[in-house]
Amino acid sequence: MSVFYKWGAGRDPGHPEIVDAYDSTLVTAEGEEILDAAAGAAVANLGHSPPDVADAMAEQAERVGYVSTSHFSVPSVESVGEKLASMTPDPLNAAFFVNSGSEAVESAIKLARDYHVARGEPTREAVIGRWASYHGSTLGALAASGNTGRRTTYDPLLRDWPKIGPAYPYRWDHEGSPEEQAIAAARELERLVRRRGPETVAAFIAEPVGGSSIPATRPHPAYYREIRRICSEYGLLFIADEVMVGFGRTGEPFACEGLGVTPDLMVLGKGLSAGYAPISAMMVADGVVETLEEHDHPFQHGHTYSGNPISAAVADRVLDRYTEDLFAAVRRRGRRLEETLEPLAEHPIVGEIRRVGLQVGVEFVADRETKAPFDPDADVADRIYDAALANGVYTYPGGGSVDGQAGDHLMLAPPLTVGDGDIETIGETVVSAVNRVADEEGY
């Protein structure tokens, strides 16, 4: 074995080998076509292999492939920074570039600390996150994440930062109207900050709309209104992780906008280059930049490939494709995708079908009444994934390994450009995959 795969030996040998790709389609070495209903993990927003992006990459490679952005600037990087500053909500006007979502989260964790140290509050170090969340696989990002399945082995290496429960209305047991429940859930943060002492807490991090851990969860807007109030009142920076849901996935340019909340730091990845080159960014609010400048406090952080000119040239081209027309199409395509899943609405093993924009989460339960999840050892989501893939549709399974924090689920997040016919195929294939596994389970 010459490549050490994520899952180790035993799982990968069966993986299809992809040798070509176009639109929403992957082509295997055997010439079979697979419909990409997950866009990787919500990455390939513009579909596969558009020639204009390949041209941008080649043109930049021929001009300047690499310089250190610690000592030089390049036009492609400057251009992406300007575009991001105008796309993201005010006052997020400064972009810091790295290469992956995890690195962008690490940057935000460190910059939050810089901000407090510069202001003369060096005891602030904790970054509070939520259970059943995923912010990346590096040690800081994982410490801020609450996905227990991904953390277990590494727990001794991670800072012991506290967590609140997820924004997960389907499984909340708070009383009252949706608004009251949302406020009650957000106030968990306030209680935690008070208990730990605000002087020890640097930031709160959350995905505004649930991504791969609990896909397509969007709480009542009161939730983030309250989170914003708590962060401001207790001096925490609010870090919005839009690595998966930024750039139109929710039918808005950024999920925060749909929820009416403005973070202090926003992390972006995946859709920034739509998968064509590794690049991610941390957007920083004016007030944070000004604080660092006032105190002459440097940000001691960066990577060899921060602001890589070729990745930036790709992102520069990709950003031009994120137009209001595309976002309107995303909303329309998302509605249609949800309609194709209508046969699952009352299905005995489907607890909830959630959708935000063109991200759909189908949550599987052993019992619709009690919402009891399946035994993780039954691998229900993985088996549904396998059944759909056997019929030529790639989806994104998850959840069963998250210690019962989230049930088994499937995420659908096809390219934002997915064709109408492909949407129908995704729906039909997923419905029949769910039926098949439900039959096997005796429903």
The residues binding ligand PMP (CB under 6 A) are 41, 100-102, 105, 134-136, 207, 211-212, 241, 243-244, 269
Query: Quick one: 146 or 407, whose CB is closer to ligand PMP?
Result: 146
CB of 133 to ligand PMP, least distance (A): 8
Q: Find the shortest distance in angstroms from Cβ 98 to ligand PMP.
A: 9
> Minimum CB separation from ligand PMP for residue 43, in Å?
8
The residue (of 41 and 378) whose beta carbon lies closer to ligand PMP is 41
105 vs 337, which CB is nearer to ligand PMP? Answer: 105
The nearer residue to ligand PMP, 226 or 241, going by C-beta atoms, is 241
Return the residue nearest ligand PMP (CB atom): 101
CB 188 within 8 A of CB 164: yes
CB of 379 to ligand PMP, least distance (A): 21
CA distance 141 to 72: 29
In the bound state with ligand PMP, the residue whose beta carbon lies nearer, of 84 and 118, is 84
Q: CB 138 → ligand PMP: shortest distance, Å?
A: 7
Decide: 353 and 345 in contact? Cβ < 8 Å: yes
Closest CA to 243 of 287, 209, 220: 209
Identify any residues that bridge with 281 across adjacent strands, giving them in sequence order.
97, 268
Provide the token pair at 259.
Answer: 């929820």
**Are 111 and 141 spatial neighbours (Cβ–Cβ below 8 Å)?**
no
Query: For residue 101, which of 63, 129, 64, 141 has the smallest C-alpha distance?
Result: 141
- Give min distance, CB of 197 to ligand PMP, in A: 27
Measured between alpha carbons, how far is 295 from 304 in angstroms, rounded to an integer? 26
Cα within 13 Å of Cα(40), Cβ side: 16
Strand stretches in 328-433, DSSP E: 350-356, 359-364, 393-394, 396-398, 409-412
Q: Rounded to the nearest whole angstrom, what is the least distance from the CB of residue 246 to ligand PMP in the complex?
A: 9
Would you say 207 or 363 has its CB closer to ligand PMP?
Answer: 207
Our CB check for ligand PMP shows the closer of 60 and 100 to be: 100
Burial 174-202 (b: 16+ CB within 10 A, else e): eeeeeeebbbbbbbbbbebbeeeebeebb
